[in-house]
Amino acid sequence: MTKKPFTRRKLLAAAAPLAAVPFVGKLALGGDAEAGGQSHASHLRPESDAAHIVGGRGATMGHAAMIGPEVPAVGGPNDLDALLYPPRALRAKPGRVREYTLIAEDKDLEIAPGIFFPAWTYNGTAPGPVIRATEGDTLRVRFLNRGSHPHTIHFHGIHPTNMDGVFEIVESGGQFVYEFEARPAGLHLYHCHATPLKKHIHKGLHGAFIVDPKEPRPPAQELVLVMNGFDTDADGENNFYTVNGRSFYYARYPIRVKRSELVRIYLANLTEFDLINSLHLHADFFRYQPTGTGDYWEYTDTIMQCQGQRGVLEIQFANTGRFMFHAHQSEFTELGWMGFFEVVE
């Protein structure tokens, strides 16, 4: 038996009578690791959390405790902004060409603290960058394969079959230019379609593809959430679940939005191995348009997506505060697919 002179648990217990004092409460949590700098986390209220933990069983960590330094997430506050905030929507304009360059490369990604996954990426992230065009635009995607395996880009949408990323396999070191008209309007996907398919998708070669309608959607704070999972020990089961590629990232760095401002979320499911994934929002309801097409909107707080399904969510938060969102598969939640909206005035 090793004797430890001073444990964290004892510290919490000792701090219990002082928990009402915010500063001491913060100390009990181990201090604010993200002190200073522009941080989403800076809007949290550590005093109430500390009181919650200390006032509870003391030793157990509920979800509410998974804020601040306790949350096992990698990266800094604005690290995933490029994936979270899509490029601006452009008004329809005849004859416009939207150009993108996607480079496939092998890269070790830190998908959870200290866990390095040997990913195959488009432009160094998994999911890859958000591709966006307006219906009727010509989309031209230059694809360079700098990875060690043959890859392609298969876009969902309506396009010629020789632009489908299925038959034209791009060998390592090769390149290909995909060019087609962006349609129909909605939220779509792109992913590698080289075989073995499961391996190429789950290794990270996937992303969101937004086609804006000619008649623009109302102005909103737009967000992209791509759900995926990482099987780090290659046993055909995911060990970590994320949105936008890092477990618990938005739990540690909540997404900040304004109350009564329209928030539009482009949500896609690119999880492998598990048949479905889902999103559940706490303490409010949203409208959901499957695939981002058509006139049908469902009013709910939980939606389910099969592998490859996606849709558009719209919400105006009625209240301020911290709103949890996560997969309603509790297993996925506790393996990293969980986050918060920090709704402010």
Partner 1 sequence: MEAGAAAARGRMGWRLWAVVPVLLLALAVGAVVTSGSSLVDLVGTNPPPADEFDIRRVEFSPGEIRITVRNPQPDDLTIANVNIDDAIVPFTVDGPTELGRLRSSTIVVPFDWVEEDPITVGVTSSTGIQTVKEIPAAIATPEPALRGFLGYAVIGALVGILPVALGLLWLPALRQASPAWLAAFMALTAGLLVFLGLEALSEAFALQAALPSALGGSGLVLLGVALSFLGMTALSGRLSRGGTATGFALALLVSIGIGIHNLGEGLAIGASFALGELQLGTFLIIGFMIHNITEGLGIAAPVAKTRVTILALVALALVAGAPAILGAWIGGYTSSDVLGVLFFAIAAGAAFQVVVEVGRYVARQAPGGLRSGYAIGGFLAGIAVMYVTGVLAG
Footprint on this chain of partner 1 (rule: CB under 8 A) = 1-2, 4, 7-9, 57-61, 65-66, 70-72, 111-117, 230, 232-233, 239-240, 247-248, 331, 334-336
Using alpha carbons, select from 194, 82, 91 the residue that is nearest to residue 135: 91
Nearer to partner 1, 25 or 186 (CB): 25
Phi first, then psi, for residue 333 (nearest 5°) are: -55, -50
Return the SS3 of 132. strand
CA atoms of 252 and 340, how far apart (whole Å): 8
Which two structure tokens, joined as six digits, stand for 302? 């939980």
Pick between residue 235 and residue 295 the one whose CB is nearest to partner 1: 235
Considering the complex, what minimum distance in angstroms separates the CB of residue 325 from partner 1?
Answer: 17
How far apart are CB 187 and partner 1 at their closest, in Å? 29
Which residue, among 241, 231, 133, has the nearest Cα to 190 in the 3D structure?
133
> At its nearest, how many Å lie between partner 1 and the CB of residue 74?
11
Q: Provide the minimum distance between the beta carbon of 12 and partner 1 in the complex, in angstroms, as a whole number.
A: 9
Q: How far apart are CA 251 and CA 256, in angstroms?
A: 12
Q: How far is the CB of 253 from partner 1 (least distance, A)?
A: 16
For partner 1, the closer of residues 241 and 266 by Cβ is 241
Is 282 strand, coil or helix? coil
**Structure tokens that stand for 16 in this block:** 């219990």
In the complex with partner 1, the residue whose CB is nearer, 10 or 214, is 10
74 vs 211 by CB, closer to partner 1: 74
Name the residue nearer to partner 1 (CB basis): 117 or 178: 117
Question: Residue 3 Cβ, how far from partner 1 at the closest point, in Å?
Answer: 10
In this structure, what token pair is assigned to residue 122?
């488009």
**DSSP E strand stretches across 115-220:** 115-122, 131-134, 138-145, 154-155, 175-181, 186-191, 206-212
